[in-house]
Amino acid sequence: MKADFLVKGINIAVMNESIFVNEFPALKMILSKSKTSSDWDLFMTAAGVGIYYLKYKLSKKMSKEIGVQLAELNSEMPGALSNFLQNIQALKGLDFNLQERVGNWVLRSLKGNELTYEESKISRVIGIFLETVVTDLAG
């Protein structure tokens, strides 16, 4: 798979947060607390690429190309990806649901602090969505 196809494919798939907002009103509150209107795309794309890193073995060349593609979309994306991977890898060996953890990272990154119980209900849905997008693109 080419890096630009992966990064752009994930980014296009996550651009419309309204599909989630319509189903989960708590997300609208979280999005209102994010710094910029592009934060959804930033954190969802970084998490999607992060899932790809976790599920598939990447060559150094591919990893570098992904970094370039991320930076071209948003200069903060490589840092967001790094933060995502550190956060997920810190839990390595613990019993946790990856999909839930992915969604939790996205929502906490948007909100800037801990989630309420109601807000955390969205986590797994976001993780399942991103994992499905990545699996389909890698297919």
pLDDT score at 97: 84
**What 3-state class would DSSP assign to 5?**
helix
Calpha distance 13→82 (Å, rounded): 21
* DSSP letter assigned to residue 76: T
* Spatial distance between the Cα atoms of 75 and 67, rounded to a whole number of angstroms: 10
- Provide the whole-model pTM: 0.92
pLDDT digits (tens, 9 = 90+) for 5-28: 899 999 999 988 888 888 888 898
Position 33 confidence tier, pLDDT thresholds 50, 70, 90: confident
Q: What is the pLDDT of residue 93?
A: 67
pLDDT tens for 41-99 read: 999 999 999 999 999 888 999 999 999 999 999 999 999 999 999 998 887 766 678 89
Measured in degrees and rounded to the nearest 5, phi and psi for residue 45 equal -65, -45
Number of Cβ within a 10 Å radius of residue 139: 6
Burial call 108-124: b when 16+ CB within 10 Å, e when fewer: bbbbeeebeeebbebbb
